[in-house]
């Protein structure tokens, strides 16, 4: 048996890979690659592009070849054959064209969600019309340029986590749902679900919400009650879609029945909750909270991958990573030159080759911002192509996405200057 296994393993050039092959070893340590698992099948053209970008040669295991027959997703995705329902995938506007409008929309959202949560905490009620208006505007901004809105998702303050988290989940869920092919009315509904999914936390003791240490069993039980309380807060608002109420109630339910508050199983959980729960967990892990520092996006993706088929829907996790990429907008990265940069824009065609801005030299010292489009030929001073070696958590080397240094990059004038570099 051991001999058969050894014979099935062979070395080939990365450019010789085809769909279905199983990569069991690469030409560098796994931790130096953006790959989530130490061994995986090549399932998409994006997988092929990623491997050839990172590696010169790999080892494949022929005994683990995967027959790439079409698979049926475990969650119903939107139909792709109705031209009237689908959003026209027109070319997005440039980042410099849209950044100011995105900034204004995000600012409105920040003010709105703070007021909304405070009103609910005080028993004033929910301004559904204002929430819908904001979500509609956010959908328009996301259709113009996702990167512009995703940028402001990174500008979160730790002491405003709950409100900023609601806003972030709304934006992430709109972008993800658009990638899945949902029509514009559905994007608005899903965005509203994301915006209001955590409103029940306003009826939880704020000392528990803001406790810097680990919650004891009693405190955790009270924290978990926010799903039930969210349902109770929203159920009386007849002008809200019922799905918004359902998602507030079920976004912590899990496929294997281990979630809360009711321990529902996969068949009992609304489909929109599958989308919101993935965005919810991703944003929580990559954000600074009173009890935990932000972790790198790669770490959040690993958590989602580990929870496939038990916590989260398998097909949607894969789709989420395909949409967001392993180097999302606002991510700090280390380059093979030793320099540190921040992702300015993603490249939908080449997810591992985004546009970045160098902010720290190889010694970790501040330097003049320099734009790199990694999808083009960018050569280091030593004559090698620029490559990303790792992603970093927000705050590494004293660099924060919401720092003044980074915020200065996010205006039309600066962006136009950077484009010329």
Q: Is the alpha carbon torsion for 257, 258, 263, 269 positive or negative?
A: negative
Question: What pLDDT, on the 0 to 100 scale, is given for residue 385?
Answer: 86
Q: Where are the domains of the chain?
A: 2-64, 95-324, 332-419
Cα–Cα distance, 31 to 36 (Å, whole number)? 9
- What residue spans of 40-145 are helical by DSSP H? 45-54, 95-122, 128-144
Phi-psi region of 383 (alpha: psi -120 to 50; beta: other; left: phi over 0): left
Question: What pLDDT, on the 0 to 100 scale, is given for residue 82?
Answer: 37
Question: What pLDDT, on the 0 to 100 scale, is given for residue 84?
Answer: 36
Question: What pLDDT, on the 0 to 100 scale, is given for residue 55?
Answer: 84
What number of residues does the chain have? 421
Pairing outcome for strands 22-26 and 40-41: antiparallel
CATH topology of domain 95-324: Hypothetical protein af1432 (1.10.3210)
Q: What is the pTM of this model?
A: 0.82
Report the run of H or E that residue 353 belongs to, with start and end.
none
Cα–Cα distance, 79 to 99 (Å, whole number)? 32
Question: What pLDDT, on the 0 to 100 scale, is given for residue 196?
Answer: 97
From first to last of its 421 residues, the chain has per-residue pLDDT tens of 334 344 578 888 887 888 888 888 888 877 667 676 677 888 777 677 778 777 888 898 888 887 765 444 455 566 543 333 444 455 678 888 899 999 999 999 999 999 999 999 898 889 999 999 999 999 999 999 999 999 888 877 655 778 899 999 999 999 999 999 999 999 999 999 999 999 999 999 988 988 888 899 999 999 999 999 999 999 988 899 999 999 999 999 999 999 999 999 999 999 999 999 999 999 999 988 877 788 888 889 999 999 999 999 999 998 998 898 888 999 999 999 999 999 999 887 777 788 999 999 999 999 999 999 988 878 888 888 888 888 888 888 888 888 888 888 888 788 877 875 5
Upper half-sphere CA count for residue 266 (Cβ side, 13 Å): 12
Residue 327: which of 380, 379, 390 has the closest Cα? 390
- On the 0-12 / 13-18 / 19+ scale of CB atoms within 10 A, 226 is buried
Q: Exposed e or buried b for every residue in 330-353, given b needs 16+ CB within 10 A?
A: bbbbbbebebbbbbbbbbeeebbb
Question: What pLDDT, on the 0 to 100 scale, is given for residue 90?
Answer: 56
Radius of gyration of the chain (CA): 22
Question: What pLDDT, on the 0 to 100 scale, is given for residue 17?
Answer: 84
Question: What pLDDT, on the 0 to 100 scale, is given for residue 140?
Answer: 95
Question: What pLDDT, on the 0 to 100 scale, is given for residue 159?
Answer: 58
Residue 397 is classified by DSSP as G
**Residue 389: other Cβ atoms inside 10 A:** 15
């Amino acid at each position: 048996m051991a001999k058969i296994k050894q014979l099935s393993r062979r070395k080939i050039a990365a450019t010789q890979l085809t769909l279905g092959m199983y990569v069991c070893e690469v030409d560098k340590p796994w931790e130096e690659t953006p790959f989530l698992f130490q061994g995986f099948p090549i399932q998409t053209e994006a997988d092929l592009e990623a491997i050839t970008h990172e590696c010169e040669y790999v080892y494949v295991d022929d005994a683990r070849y995967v027959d790439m027959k079409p698979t049926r997703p475990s969650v119903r995705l939107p139909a792709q054959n109705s031209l009237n329902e689908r959003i026209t995938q027109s070319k997005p506007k440039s980042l410099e064209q849209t950044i100011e409008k995105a900034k204004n929309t995000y600012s409105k959202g920040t003010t709105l969600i703070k007021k909304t949560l405070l009103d609910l905490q005080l028993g004033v009620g929910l301004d559904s019309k204002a929430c819908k208006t904001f979500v509609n505007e956010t959908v328009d901004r996301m259709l113009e340029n996702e990167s512009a809105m995703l940028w402001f998702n990174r500008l979160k303050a730790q002491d405003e986590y709950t409100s900023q988290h609601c806003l972030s989940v709304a934006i992430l869920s709109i972008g993800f749902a658009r990638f899945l092919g949902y029509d514009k009315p559905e994007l608005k509904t899903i965005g509203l679900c994301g915006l209001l999914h955590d409103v029940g936390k306003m009826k939880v003791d704020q000392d528990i919400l803001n406790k810097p240490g680990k919650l004891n069993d009693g405190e955790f039980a009270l924290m978990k009650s926010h799903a039930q309380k969210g349902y109770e807060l929203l159920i009386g608002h007849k002008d809200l879609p019922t799905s918004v109420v359902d998602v507030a109630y079920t976004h912590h339910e899990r496929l294997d029945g281990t979630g809360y508050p009711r321990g529902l199983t996969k068949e009992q959980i609304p489909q929109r909750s599958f989308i919101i729960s993935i965005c919810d967990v991703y944003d929580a892990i990559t954000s600074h909270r009173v009890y935990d520092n932000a972790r790198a996006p790669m770490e959040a993706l690993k958590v989602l991958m580990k929870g496939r088929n038990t916590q989260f829907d398998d097909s949607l996790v894969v789709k989420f990573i395909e949409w967001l990429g392993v180097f999302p907008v606002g991510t700090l990265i280390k380059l093979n030159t030793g320099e540190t940069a921040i992702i300015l824009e993603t490249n939908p065609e080449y997810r591992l080759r985004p546009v970045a801005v160098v902010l720290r030299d190889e010694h970790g010292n501040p330097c003049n911002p320099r734009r790199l489009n990694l999808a083009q030929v960018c050569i280091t001073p030593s004559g090698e192509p620029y490559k990303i070696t790792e992603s970093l958590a927000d705050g590494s080397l004293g660099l924060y996405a919401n720092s003044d240094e980074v915020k200065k990059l996010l205006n039309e004038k600066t962006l136009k200057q950077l484009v010329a570099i």
